Chains A and B, each alone.
Chain A
Amino acid sequence: MTAAAMARSRAAPLALGFGTLVVAILAVEVLIRIGVINKFIVPLPSQIALAFGRVITEEDLGERFRLTFLEALTAGVMITVAGVALGLLLFRVNLLRQATETWVAAMASAPTVLMYPLFLVIFGRNVWTIIMMGFVAGLPPVILKTVEGLSGTRRVLINVGRSLKLTGPQLFLKILFPAALPTIFVGVRLGLIFTLINVVGVEFLINFGGLGQLINDLAERYDLPGTYAAICFVILVSVCFFVLTEWVERWLTPVE
């Protein structure tokens, strides 16, 4: 197969991606075995692969995976609903937007995970501390991208709506929101990344809940292959979210 034919093939990117991953894993395996990477810091990939079965059967992984996924999903739904609503509010009330947009942007880059003691005091050592930390961390990008998407709606599309005498709610639902949807989804994706990082991070810090707590436990036991295997499952949660948002986006916006 020529290079051009490979570039056109649908399977080629998948094969290249998978191949790159396999090569990287093999390279790490070799580098550890020849002593370039310290095996007491990074375990052999082959050991990690062998640890999967043990982590799944002995560490109640299914339940932990479900818990982390549900915490992140709850926080994800919350950031979407609240973020879009607040973004719409900032879009409609210009004074409010001018007064708060910089603060929201600053909040997006702030390490909010450090506020976990405050959330522990407010919500106690339970899932709501984890969900609310995920919510606070993931909210700003959704707000900012919603404002950006609504403000970026082309004037001519709004004028089409005005010429057809659309009411305010009609203009929002039929023109502004669909036009802003691709940008809003960028914000939701970013928000979900921040949310997931914070959910797992807080689980780790307060030693409570799903995969974050498991990583903490395994690290405390100095079970490095198990720790890395658990991290792989966190990546799996992230992949699940990515696939889910892709699916919802395609359903809502069939064509950009």
Chain B
Amino acid sequence: MATVSTLPDRTAEGLRGKAPGILVVDDIFVQFQTPDGPLVAVDHVSLSVRPGEFLAVIGPSGCGKSTLFNVVGGLLDDYRGAVTVAGETVRGPHASIGMVFQEESTFPWRTVIENVAFPLEIAGMAKAARLEKAKRFISLVGLIGFENRYPNELSGGMRQRVAIARTLASEPKILLMDEPFASLDEQTRLLLGDKVLQIQQDLEQTTLLITHNITEAVQLADRILVMSYRPGKVKRIVDIDLPRPRSSEIVSSEAFGRYVAQIWSDLREEASRGMRDDEDRALHGREHGS
């Protein structure tokens, strides 16, 4: 039976009290300067990811999900609050956090195996050893036989698997993914979700997924953090009590549908607010322009 719970104490302290987090995001506040004045992108967001857990962050466009991704990944350093990995406060990119990006991020001038071995090359590993290790991760994402192909010879889904294998090759404690399947069609997305689930379960990989896709979040995650539209706050945390190991077949279950409906009811209000906001801005922009 699907259960939906609201976490009353949303601070990192509260979360830490419940279970020790390998990744703790504590009271993050991000504000950008825009021509219309300061814009709060992330408003005191806290979350904690337990070892081996798959946490999805979901929210409407403009809720600060990608800003949060950049803060946790260390690509953005102008923020208040703290990011802690295994008790160590980190600022800037960190070896413990591996990032998979929304956009196509394979290096077109490198073959699949050279792409996957890239972090190992940077780490100074000998060529034979790094190619051997890269093969293991290529096998993990199901791309054996494509080692010597270039990215332009692969489909979008295969390229994203190369990017995931490349990130996994650096053996990060935490896998951080920003809408990695956003550019893929629905069927590929579901099948790739299966692959990610299998990898996550095999490696017991702690994973933080940023997404706007409810189906994807429910299919993959142990918990889902729902964010509000601008300013981005934690609106609700939902425990996904679906059996593991999971596959894409779970999407046809009744419990899955209930989770999707519940999260959509939370998101609909936020997404509507975002849409109204966009319409207002477009209208005012036109008035200013005319």
The residue from A160, A181, A255, A256 contacting B105, defined by CB atoms under 8 A apart: A160
- Determine the chain A residues whose CB is within 8 A of the CB of B102 once the complex forms: 156
Answer yes or no: B119 CB below 8 A from chain A CBs.
Answer: yes
Answer yes or no: A254 CB below 8 A from chain B CBs.
Answer: yes
Nearest-CB residue, chain A, relative to B163: A160
A156–B99 CB distance below 8 A: no
The residue from B98, B109, B150, B153 contacting A163, defined by CB atoms under 8 A apart: B98
Q: Given the known A-B contacts A154-B103, A164-B122, A179-B109, are A159 and B75 also in contact in the complex, defined by CB atoms under 8 Å?
A: yes
- Determine the chain B residues whose CB is within 8 A of the CB of A254 once the complex forms: 109, 150
Answer yes or no: B157 CB below 8 A from chain A CBs.
Answer: no
B108–A256 CB distance below 8 A: yes
- Determine the chain A residues whose CB is within 8 A of the CB of B99 once the complex forms: 159-160, 163
Smallest CB–CB gap between A107 and chain B, Å?
Answer: 31
Q: A164 to B118, alpha carbons, bound, how many Å?
A: 9
Q: A154 to B107, alpha carbons, bound, how many Å?
A: 10
Q: A156 to B159, alpha carbons, bound, how many Å?
A: 14
Number of chain A residues close to chain B: CB under 8 A: 20
Q: Which of A159, A162, A163, A255 has the most CB of B within 10 A?
A: A163
Q: Given the known A-B contacts A162-B93, A165-B93, are A256 and B122 also in contact in the complex, defined by CB atoms under 8 Å?
A: no
- Determine the chain A residues whose CB is within 8 A of the CB of B3 once the complex forms: none
Answer yes or no: A39 CB below 8 A from chain B CBs.
Answer: no
Report how many A-B pairs have Cβ atoms within 8 Å.
56
B122–A166 CB distance below 8 A: yes
Nearest-CB residue, chain B, relative to A170: B122
A157–B109 CB distance below 8 A: no
A256–B107 CB distance below 8 A: no
Smallest CB–CB gap between B185 and chain A, Å?
Answer: 20
A163–B73 CB distance below 8 A: yes
Answer yes or no: A175 CB below 8 A from chain B CBs.
Answer: yes
Q: A159 to B167, alpha carbons, bound, how many Å?
A: 12
Interface string of A231-245 (1 = CB under 8 A from B): 000000000000000
Interface string of B235-246 (1 = CB under 8 A from A): 000000000000
Smallest CB–CB gap between A178 and chain B, Å?
Answer: 5
Interface string of A132-173 (1 = CB under 8 A from B): 000000000000000000000010110110111110001000
Q: Given the known A-B contacts A163-B98, A164-B93, A164-B122, are A157 and B107 also in contact in the complex, defined by CB atoms under 8 Å?
A: yes
The residue from B97, B105, B152 contacting A157, defined by CB atoms under 8 A apart: B105
Q: A166 to B166, alpha carbons, bound, how many Å?
A: 15
Interface string of A39-70 (1 = CB under 8 A from B): 00000000000000000000000000000000
Known: A156-B105, A163-B73, A255-B150; 7 extra A-B contacts, CB below 8 A, are: A156-B103, A160-B105, A163-B97, A164-B119, A174-B118, A174-B122, A254-B109
Using CB atoms and an 8 Å cutoff, list the residues of chain B in contact with chain A. 73-75, 93-95, 97-99, 101-105, 107-109, 118-119, 122, 150, 152-153, 166, 170
* 11 interchain pairs, CB-CB under 8 A: A156-B102, A156-B104, A157-B105, A159-B99, A160-B99, A160-B101, A160-B107, A174-B118, A174-B122, A179-B109, A181-B109
